[in-house]
Amino acid sequence: MSVASTGLHALNVRGKRVLLRCDLNVPLKDGAITDDGRIRASLPTINALLEGGASLVICAHLGRPKGERKPELSLAPVAIRLSELLQRPVRFAKDTIGPDAERAVQELTDGKTTSSGGVVLLENVRYEAAETSKDETERATFAKKLASFADFYVGDGFGAVHRKHASVFEVAQLLPHAAGELVSAEVDVLKKLTETPARPYGVILGGAKVADKIGVISNLLDKVNVMAIGGGMVFTFLAAQGKEIGTSLVDMESLETVKELLARAESRGVEFLLPTDIVVAPKFENDNPTLVSADEMPSDQMGLDIGPKSAARFAEAIRQCKTVFWNGPMGVFEFSHFSEGTRVVAQALTEVDGLAVVGGGDSAAAVRALGFKDSQFGYISTGGGASLEYLEGKELPGLKALGF
């Protein structure tokens, strides 16, 4: 099999079928897409391949159906939205490697889907248990069926490159392949964050689970000048300092590790920012907000956002930086009473004189929900988990398969 290229330019796709792995894992509510950012992020590669004369068989996942056909996780709404954005028909196959998929691919060959450059979107690849199986033989068998649909493979689902899944890893072993525009752009940005960051370099981390971010914090402490912590994960840090956190989220198993991280940050001269004021409420509801000092949290209240003094302090630190990476909201941004911390941090990122990266997932959804435009930021990543594992220093199977 051919050696991987790291760009689409190396593939002569005219008149050929390309199996394109995208990240179309969009949020849905009552069957409607609430944020089409990941679909839009896939358009440059899709359009480049179509302009190059290829026909496309697109595969992607949505949620975690764990090998079951769950109607609420169907990619059917994505096919409709993709067709609207491309302004051309997108044939939706109701299965992944079954008879409908085979018919759809055959129509591409026959030129029946469109007069040129047809597009087929296969049903949720994770409906097939073999896609995520830990059994390499099962994954390989499934990968062969997917590979039979195409002449080339292009990996552009950055949000899944940290998974050793059939459509991400094994298929690339079976076909001439290349990285898509999105994957290449993501890697370029992540290299800037890890290898050559302009300084001062700041990182802001939020979200609910501190365990998900410990590896990133540990790896970046040697690289950053400023690190700020917000979101639900902050209460494990405050608890590690012996503070009352009420009924807030806390990861007791991570307390000792967090203490070690705080000590490391101090010894290395990293400016480590924790909130000094917190917006609390008695329940996880959009109601009854109260502002308290981080040193005086009531025992019967839970923290749902960083306070205004903390948000202003974080924002000032961000604006002083030349490179900033942000992953995870500062509070429950979906609730209007607890969204201000996230809004202030997002606004500060738009004012950075340098590279400001919004690290995918909830952060990307938050900035759009709060009325910001993608163009206001230096870069919005599509892959929260994949980005974090890269920044943690881990080898990502999907990138390795593409030659990175």
Residue 344 lies in a domain: yes
Dihedral pair phi/psi, residue 121, rounded to 5°? -110, 120
Question: Is 66 noted as a catalytic residue in this protein?
Answer: no
Contact 113, 139 (CB under 8 A): no
Q: Is 111 helix (H, G, I), strand (E, B) or coil?
A: coil
Catalytic hit among 157, 361, 383, 398: 361
Contact 154, 19 (CB under 8 A): yes
Residue 381 has which token pair?
A: 């990543």
Per-residue pLDDT of 298-342, as tens digits, reads 999 999 999 999 999 999 999 999 999 999 999 999 999 999 999
- Local confidence band at 270 (pLDDT 50, 70, 90 cut-offs): very high
Q: Quote the pLDDT of residue 109.
A: 65
Contact 123, 355 (CB under 8 A): no
Q: Quote the pLDDT of residue 114.
A: 46
Q: Are residues 336 and 238 in the same domain?
A: yes
- Local confidence band at 207 (pLDDT 50, 70, 90 cut-offs): confident
Longest dimension (CA), the chain: 70
Residue 206 lies in a domain: yes
Q: Are residues 149 and 203 in the same domain?
A: no
Average pLDDT, stretch 279-304?
96
Catalytic hit among 103, 145, 209, 322: 209
Q: Are residues 143 and 231 in the same domain?
A: no
Query: E strand or H helix at 234, and its extent?
Result: helix 234-240
Residue 1 lies in a domain: no
Q: Quote the pLDDT of residue 180.
A: 96
Closest CA to 121 of 132, 130, 108, 110: 108
Closest CA to 49 of 139, 172, 179: 179
Average pLDDT, stretch 186-205?
94
Q: Are residues 131 and 255 in the same domain?
A: no
Q: Are residues 260 and 348 in the same domain?
A: yes
- Local confidence band at 4 (pLDDT 50, 70, 90 cut-offs): very low
Closest CA to 52 of 93, 79, 20: 20
- pTM comes to 0.87
Average pLDDT, stretch 170-181?
95
Q: Are residues 150 and 298 in the same domain?
A: no
What Å distances lie between residue 55 and 16, 50, 142, 173, 398, CA to CA? 6, 7, 21, 21, 23
Per-residue pLDDT of 74-130, as tens digits, reads 999 999 999 999 999 999 999 999 999 999 999 886 544 444 469 999 999 999 999
Residue 399 lies in a domain: no
Q: Quote the pLDDT of residue 3.
A: 38
- The residue segments making up the domain with residue 17 are 8-182
Give the contacts of 20 (CB within 8 A, at least 6 positions apart).
45, 46, 49, 56, 57, 58, 59, 153, 154, 156, 180
Q: Quote the pLDDT of residue 68.
A: 94
Q: Quote the pLDDT of residue 385.
A: 85
Q: What's the sign of the alpha-carbon dihedral 144, 147, 153, 159? A: negative
Q: Are residues 237 and 376 in the same domain?
A: yes
Residue 79 lies in a domain: yes
- Local confidence band at 274 (pLDDT 50, 70, 90 cut-offs): very high
Contact 175, 150 (CB under 8 A): yes
Catalytic hit among 354, 385, 394, 400: 385
Distance (Å, whole) CA 404 – CA 350: 30
Angle between helices 384-391 and 181-194 in degrees, nearest 10: 40
Q: Are residues 280 and 169 in the same domain?
A: no
The yes-or-no verdict on residue 351 having pLDDT over 50 is yes
Average pLDDT, stretch 350-360?
92
Distance (Å, whole) CA 59 – CA 19: 7
The yes-or-no verdict on residue 7 having pLDDT over 50 is yes
The CATH number of the domain where 357 resides is what? 3.40.50.1260
- Local confidence band at 144 (pLDDT 50, 70, 90 cut-offs): very high
Q: Which residue has tokens 């995520």?
A: 132
- Local confidence band at 8 (pLDDT 50, 70, 90 cut-offs): confident
* Domain end (from 182, 214, 232): 182
Residue 368 has which token pair?
A: 């759009």
Distance (Å, whole) CA 43 – CA 57: 14
The yes-or-no verdict on residue 362 having pLDDT over 80 is no
Q: Are residues 240 and 150 in the same domain?
A: no
Distance (Å, whole) CA 204 – CA 341: 12
What Å distances lie between residue 312 and 6, 148, 290, CA to CA? 41, 55, 18
Mean pLDDT of the chain: 92
Alpha helices in 111-202 (DSSP H): 129-132, 136-147, 171-174, 181-194
Q: Are residues 345 and 221 in the same domain?
A: yes
Per-residue pLDDT of 164-175, as tens digits, reads 999 999 999 999
- Residue, of 3 and 287, whose pLDDT is higher: 287
Residue 59 lies in a domain: yes
- Local confidence band at 360 (pLDDT 50, 70, 90 cut-offs): confident
Q: Are residues 156 and 219 in the same domain?
A: no
Question: Is 117 noted as a catalytic residue in this protein?
Answer: no
What Å distances lie between residue 167 and 19, 36, 319, 344, CA to CA? 9, 22, 40, 39
Question: Is 103 noted as a catalytic residue in this protein?
Answer: no
Residue 192 lies in a domain: no
Per-residue pLDDT of 32-89, as tens digits, reads 998 898 999 999 999 999 999 999 999 999 999 999 999 999 999 999 999 999 999 9
Domain count, the chain: 2
Q: Are residues 158 and 23 in the same domain?
A: yes
Residue 178 lies in a domain: yes
The yes-or-no verdict on residue 383 having pLDDT over 90 is no
Contact 113, 144 (CB under 8 A): no
Catalytic hit among 17, 38, 91, 163: 38
* Domain end (from 155, 182, 209): 182
Q: Quote the pLDDT of residue 1.
A: 33
Q: Supply the DSSP symbol for 87.
A: T
Question: Is 134 noted as a catalytic residue in this protein?
Answer: no
Give the contacts of 119 (CB within 8 A, at least 6 positions apart).
46, 50, 55, 56, 58, 82, 86, 88, 89, 90, 91, 113
* Domain end (from 150, 182, 214): 182
